[in-house]
Amino acid sequence: MVQTPRDQHTRADGHIANSPHGSGNMTLVTTASTALTDLSPADLAAFHASQRTAYDALKASGLKLDLTRGKPSVEQLDLSDALMALPKGHTDADGVDVRNYGGLNGLRELREIFADLLWVEPEQVVIGGNSSLTMMHDVLVQLLLHGGVDSPRPWTQEEKVTFVCPVPGYDRHFTMLANYGIEMVTVPMLEDGPDVAAVEALVKDDPSIKGMWIVPTYANPAGSTISEEKAARLASMPTAAPDFKIFWDNAYAFHHLTEDEAKSADIISLASASGHANRPVMFASTSKITYAGAGVAVLAASAANVKWYLGHQQFASIGPDKLNQLRHIQFFGSAQGVRDHMAKHRAILAPKFEAVQEALSGALDGLGVAHWTRPTGGYFVSLDVLDGTASRIVALAKDAGIALTPAGASFPHGQDPDDRNIRLAPSFPVLDEVRTAMAGVATCVALAAVEKLIEERGGAMYEPSIGNPEGA
């Protein structure tokens, strides 16, 4: 088995080409299998028949499996069950009675833990409720209603507001923007972060571009991690908008799948050093560390941005759930406690991600019809298939009892212009179910690919008895 360089894929003719989607930590493999495009008409028909047989058997097996979202498994949630017996007492180290009002910025000890983890000062940290997405939403809405610390006016008073969105990316980022009528312009997400040259070209002359999203560490779904050099360019680049903001969603900063742990770029310090201290706002949470529905969320930013955020938040809250914050303080104990806890998650997750690789490689290597990422952290594998077949694959999988994220979900408005990308989320099912589901997905990829090639050669179109190309 020959491994090819990251961010490349093997074309059907056996040559190496850059991935048009630039999908993250990608190690692609080839074997002696013949690429489907090199098969004779008779051999292609025989391959099609074999995949139809395999798919029929898959449908007959009565599966009901879900790979739609990156949820922690029951086994992962069980790691944090000691939280159920906490907190012990109702005062923190400063004597604060956590049962009462107040403390809008969160308990000091928890701010210190996350300051250590995120390389900022405790005064730059706000601890919120269980959802970092809520904090992102609050920041966006306050920018729209009031503008930021460096805004000449509220964003709603601008002729239009546009965000740069690396793709493939996180669907909830895109739907949040769409909900407020914010326009989106895409740039490719590469192995070492977004195409910064493309970002720089967009923002330097267009004052309507007010911000950008980025998942900097083990990006959703590409698995890529932004380099320090690219982060520095984003922090320092000239922008036509004086109040340009980077929504730095560091959701997977601690979610390593190997002992070779990626380090997040220090965007707060880089921005401060470049004279744009108020440009980034960082977010994180324990949603995939302790309990997804009962964790704590984190915002980190410049002192001015923190003051701005709390100044508006005071009208929405009299204080967060400090009982839950104290519970987490006692559970973790320190920043090292968080790191140690994440090693337990890695032991559960790593075999599932390896199962994805084994299934895809075993069925698809050498066929020239797909390439995929091999992430070293995070919660997703990004699968690129033959153009025009992603929706078909999702529909086939759905009819076989395997639920996948809708094709195009990793693009604004759910529209992948190439109908090529599928996000795979193997975290929630048990390991054996991951193996079964991914073997089924590989069958669907191969079947959709051979259907497409037969169609392009003037053969029969898709048969409606198997799935619906417009479905899922």
**Mean pLDDT for the chain?**
91
Residue 470 has pLDDT above 60, yes or no: no
Phi/psi for 288 (5° steps) reads -110, 25
Residue 9 has pLDDT above 50, yes or no: no
- Give the pLDDT of residue 25: 39
- Give the pLDDT of residue 458: 87
Residue percentage of the chain with pLDDT more than 90: 90
- The 10s digit of each residue's pLDDT in 169-228 is 999 999 999 999 999 999 999 999 999 999 999 999 999 999 999 999 999 999 999 999
Residue 75 has pLDDT above 60, yes or no: yes
Q: Cβ(88)–Cβ(330) under 8 Å?
A: yes
Q: Give which of 451, 437, 442, 435 is closest to 363, Cα–Cα.
A: 442
- The 10s digit of each residue's pLDDT in 364-413 is 999 999 999 999 999 999 999 999 999 999 999 999 999 999 999 999 99
Residue 2 has pLDDT above 90, yes or no: no
- Locus of tokens 């075999």: 351
- Give the pLDDT of residue 427: 98
Helix (H) or strand (E) segment spanning residue 174: helix 171-179
Residue 468 has pLDDT above 80, yes or no: no
Q: Give which of 38, 43, 41, 16 is closest to 27, Cα–Cα.
A: 16
Mean predicted confidence (pLDDT) in 295-319 = 97
Mean predicted confidence (pLDDT) in 265-272 = 97
- The identity of residue 455, as a single letter, is E
Mean predicted confidence (pLDDT) in 158-164 = 98
Q: What is the DSSP string of 418-429?
A: TS-EEEE--SSS
SS3 call for 385: strand
Residue 24 has pLDDT above 80, yes or no: no
Token pair, residue 207, equals: 């004052």
Residue 3 has pLDDT above 90, yes or no: no
CA pair distance 251, 256, nearest whole angstrom? 12
- The 10s digit of each residue's pLDDT in 82-96 is 999 999 999 999 999
- Give the pLDDT of residue 459: 74
SS3 call for 30: strand
Residue 308 has pLDDT above 60, yes or no: yes
Q: Cβ(237)–Cβ(274) under 8 Å?
A: no
Distance of CA 114 to the CA centre of its chain: 21
CA pair distance 406, 396, nearest whole angstrom? 12
Residue 341 has pLDDT above 60, yes or no: yes
Residue percentage of the chain with pLDDT more than 70: 90
- Locus of tokens 């299934």: 359
- Give the pLDDT of residue 455: 95
- Give the pLDDT of residue 460: 56
HSE at residue 383, side-chain half, CA atoms within 13 A, is 32
SS3 call for 451: helix
CA pair distance 261, 9, nearest whole angstrom? 24
